[in-house]
């Protein structure tokens, strides 16, 4: 963690010390009083609840100080307080200052689908040569990005940062905090359509990472995505493309499924290539790997350097993790989130795996705007076309997945509908049979992980 004194915090944030010694030094930073660490600095951010109401709680957990935008009362004169006009702006200013003091290579990763996986892959590959900081989980907004930068340690050489957006202007803010040396755009797809009027509007929002990149920065771009290539047309810096197309700089060739062991494929860059195993079941992850490889090669790592790291990659929790649930039942836990493109890819890839039956447990895909019903019906059609045997539809929008599956020919006995994940979790044990492959996927707030937990618990009985 970066170490900052109380007087430095006040100076950088444009604030005033209300109490505490100017020499008081902080070694951690946060916005959740429950996670406050000894010697940490708490930022009283006004969100769904006002952080000022929890300054005392942060102090009780061991925090040594707080940044506030209005005076608060905290017992003990040793507790540091800095008064600023805007606590979020203060947090961002401190993060930017830390990056100036320790000018690591910044890799900013954005896109509609696959940001977190690409970030994880990139960090793992770069770690073959560099000491790497990566943003935790999906800490990808105006708060999470700043908190990630405040975790920089002396000796760190690169920072791989996920940059998310659900509205125009958000990426511009993130790039201002951490201007990328390498700006990655994974793809442009129908995600957050509730907040954008069109795919073109989403693409323009993604372009902000290129507009905010450092002079001389490299853009790593999905060469198979015309919207990505369109917004990058005017980018003046170096461009490195990835994809399956023959014109892409980094390409995947001869991709071969090895069943539950994942894939084997050949990575090609110019005249060089390397054959590697890739232990993921969803072929969509190949795109994320190509993006990570493109970043690595753009920073002068070689194929031979990154090859051992590729074979060692593993899925993160709830992002394509295969779970054994007893009785030879395999559960593909992809419950972290869902969108049309990611779901279609999962349905098509997993359908090729051997199993007694293939059971898709699919919950609502949210934030899709006026076309939400159509997207769900289409998912049902894809499910049947791919050869899935059973559908468990969870939630009101998932009922349209069932509608699409029925229209495509799935019989009523193979269709199960539930109002929510709790109801589905209670019934899933009576639906799944020995030898089944079960895909569980839905938007984050649908809580489909409870269905995976129910299957795991049942498998232990």
**What is the spatial distance between Cα 114 and Cα 122, in angstroms, rounded to a whole number?**
12
- The 10 Å Cβ neighbour count of residue 431 is 15
* Cβ–Cβ < 8 Å for 346, 358: no
The reported pLDDT for the residue numbered 138 is 67
* Cβ–Cβ < 8 Å for 355, 435: yes
Token pair 């084997």 in the structure block, residue: 264
Nearest residue to 348 via CA among 399, 397, 386: 386
**What is the spatial distance between Cα 365 and Cα 371, in angstroms, rounded to a whole number?**
11
- The 10 Å Cβ neighbour count of residue 154 is 9
The reported pLDDT for the residue numbered 461 is 66
Token pair 């359509």 in the structure block, residue: 193
**What is the spatial distance between Cα 276 and Cα 353, in angstroms, rounded to a whole number?**
20
* Cβ–Cβ < 8 Å for 262, 281: yes
H or E element, residue 182 = strand 182-185
pTM of the model: 0.94
Q: Kindly provide the residue ranges of all beta strands, DSSP E only, lying in 214-262, ordered along the sequence.
A: 218-222, 238-243, 250-257
- The 10 Å Cβ neighbour count of residue 163 is 32
**What is the spatial distance between Cα 394 and Cα 446, in angstroms, rounded to a whole number?**
8
Residue 142 makes CB contacts below 8 A (sequence gap 6+) with: 88, 92, 170, 173, 174, 177
Domains and CATH numbers, the chain: 4-93 (3.40.1390.10), 102-311 (3.40.1190.10), 321-460 (3.90.190.20)
The reported pLDDT for the residue numbered 34 is 93
* Cβ–Cβ < 8 Å for 73, 9: no
No. of H helices and E strands in the chain? 15, 22
* Cβ–Cβ < 8 Å for 163, 176: no
- pLDDT tens digits for the chain (461 residues)? 889 999 999 999 999 999 999 999 999 999 999 999 999 999 999 888 899 999 999 999 999 999 999 999 898 779 999 999 999 999 999 999 999 999 999 999 999 999 999 999 999 999 999 999 999 876 788 999 999 999 999 999 999 999 998 889 999 999 999 999 999 999 998 887 778 889 999 999 999 999 999 999 999 999 999 999 999 999 999 999 999 999 999 999 999 999 999 999 999 998 889 999 999 999 999 999 999 999 999 999 999 999 999 989 999 889 999 999 988 999 999 999 999 999 999 999 999 999 999 999 999 999 999 999 999 999 999 999 999 999 999 999 999 999 999 999 999 999 999 999 999 999 999 999 999 999 999 999 999 999 999 999 987 76
Residue 304 makes CB contacts below 8 A (sequence gap 6+) with: 274
- DSSP single-letter state for residue 127: T
Tokens at 333, concatenated: 């836990």
Pairing between β-strand 218-222 and β-strand 182-185 as defined by DSSP bridges:
parallel
Give CA 256 to chain center in angstroms.
26
Print burial letters for 99-115: b (CB count within 10 Å at least 16), e (below 16).
Answer: beebebbbbbbbbbbbb
Nearest residue to 134 via CA among 154, 111, 157, 112: 157
- The 10 Å Cβ neighbour count of residue 199 is 15
C-alpha distances in Å from residue 271, one per residue of 50, 219, 250, 267, 287: 57, 21, 11, 11, 20
């Amino acid at each position: 963690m970066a170490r900052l004194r109380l007087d430095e915090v006040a100076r950088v944030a444009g604030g005033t010390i209300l109490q505490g010694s100017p020499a008081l030094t902080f070694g951690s930073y946060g916005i959740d009083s429950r996670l406050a660490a000894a010697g940490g600095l708490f930022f009283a951010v006004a969100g769904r609840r006002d952080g000022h109401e929890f300054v005392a709680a942060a102090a009780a957990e061991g925090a040594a100080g707080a940044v506030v935008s209005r005076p608060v009362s905290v017992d003990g004169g040793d507790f540091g307080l800095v008064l600023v006009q805007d606590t979020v702006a203060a947090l961002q200013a401190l993060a930017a200052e830390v990056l100036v003091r320790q000018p690591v290579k910044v890799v900013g990763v954005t896109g509609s689908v696959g940001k977190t996986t690409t970030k994880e892959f990139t960090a793992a590959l770069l770690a073959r040569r560099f000491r790497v900081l990566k943003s935790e989980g999906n800490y990808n907004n105006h708060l999470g990005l700043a908190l990630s930068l405040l975790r920089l340690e002396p000796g760190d050489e690169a920072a791989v940062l996920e940059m998310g957006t659900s509205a125009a202007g958000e990426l511009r803010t993130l790039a201002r905090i951490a201007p990328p040396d390498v700006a990655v755009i994974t793809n442009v797809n129908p995600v957050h359509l509730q907040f954008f009027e069109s795919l073109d509007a989403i693409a323009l929002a993604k372009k902000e990472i290129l507009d905010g990149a450092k002079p001389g920065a490299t853009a790593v771009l999905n060469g198979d995505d015309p919207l990505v290539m369109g917004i990058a047309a005017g980018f003046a810096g170096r461009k490195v493309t990835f994809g399956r197309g023959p014109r892409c700089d980094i390409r995947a060739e001869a991709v071969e499924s090895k069943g539950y062991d994942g894939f084997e494929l050949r990575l090609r860059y110019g005249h060089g290539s390397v054959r590697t195993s890739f232990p993921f079941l969803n072929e969509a992850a190949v795109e994320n790997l190509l993006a990570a490889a493109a970043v690595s090669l753009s920073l002068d790592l070689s194929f031979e350097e990154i090859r051992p790291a590729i074979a060692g990659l593993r899925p993160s929790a709830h992002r394509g993790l295969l779970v054994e649930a007893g009785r030879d039942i395999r559960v593909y836990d992809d419950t972290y989130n869902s969108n049309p493109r990611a779901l279609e890819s999962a349905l098509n890839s997993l359908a090729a795996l051997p199993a007694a039956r293939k059971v898709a447990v699919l919950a609502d895909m949210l934030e899709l705007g006026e076309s939400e019903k159509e997207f769900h019906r289409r998912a049902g059609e894809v499910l049947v076309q791919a050869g899935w045997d059973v559908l468990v539809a969870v939630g009101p929008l998932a009922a349209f997945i069932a509608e699409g599956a029925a229209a495509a020919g799935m019989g009523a006995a193979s269709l199960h509908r539930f109002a929510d994940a709790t109801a589905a979790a209670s019934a899933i044990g009576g639906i799944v049979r020995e030898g089944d492959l079960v895909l569980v996927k839905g938007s984050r707030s649908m809580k489909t992980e409870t269905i995976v937990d129910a299957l795991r618990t049942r498998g232990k009985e």
